[in-house]
Amino acid sequence: MIIESATSQGRFEPKKIAKLFLTTLDELSGSLGLGKDALQRKDRIASDRSQSRMRHMIEIINKVEPRFGSPLMAYAWYRSEPLAGFDGRTAMQLVREGMADAVLEYIDAVDAGVYA
């Protein structure tokens, strides 16, 4: 499970997440809509905003990973696939806008066959 490999002592660790998705901290911070130092300074990493954004991204990727067969492919979907009903925005864009719950509801609806 992705969450286990992305956390340490109950907190999301940006370096572990970046390593898991074969990306940099700068790229990861952009994917989350956070400033570069938000994932590099300990006090900023521990902030509610940073932890919340990382948690939302990981929850979404965990939910779709079985469809794609790997966390890396699920991350690619998260960053690039426009979602129906969201004006062509991706899951990444929606998380950056604070709409992670809408993405999770969309995934549940797809799983239930609503958008099939």
pLDDT tens, 7-38?
777 889 999 999 999 999 999 999 999 988 89
Q: What is the pLDDT of residue 77?
A: 96
Write out the residue range of the structural domain in which residue 85 sits: 2-111
Is the pLDDT at 116 greater than 60? The verdict is: no
pTM, to two decimals: 0.88
Tokens representing 108 are: 């549940």
- Into how many domains does the chain fold? 1
Is the pLDDT at 2 greater than 80? The verdict is: no
Q: What is the pLDDT of residue 7?
A: 77
Maximum C-alpha span of the chain: 43
Of the candidates 28, 60, 61, 23, which has an alpha carbon nearest to the alpha carbon of residue 45? 28
39-88 pLDDT, tens digit each: 988 889 999 999 999 999 999 999 999 999 999 999 999 999 999 899 99
Q: Which helix (H) or strand (E) holds 25?
A: helix 25-32
Residue type, 87: D
Of the candidates 53, 51, 68, 61, which has an alpha carbon nearest to the alpha carbon of residue 21? 61
Asked whether residue 116 is domain-assigned, the answer is no
Asked whether residue 44 is domain-assigned, the answer is yes
CA distances from 14 to 4, 85, 87, 104 (A): 13, 30, 29, 22
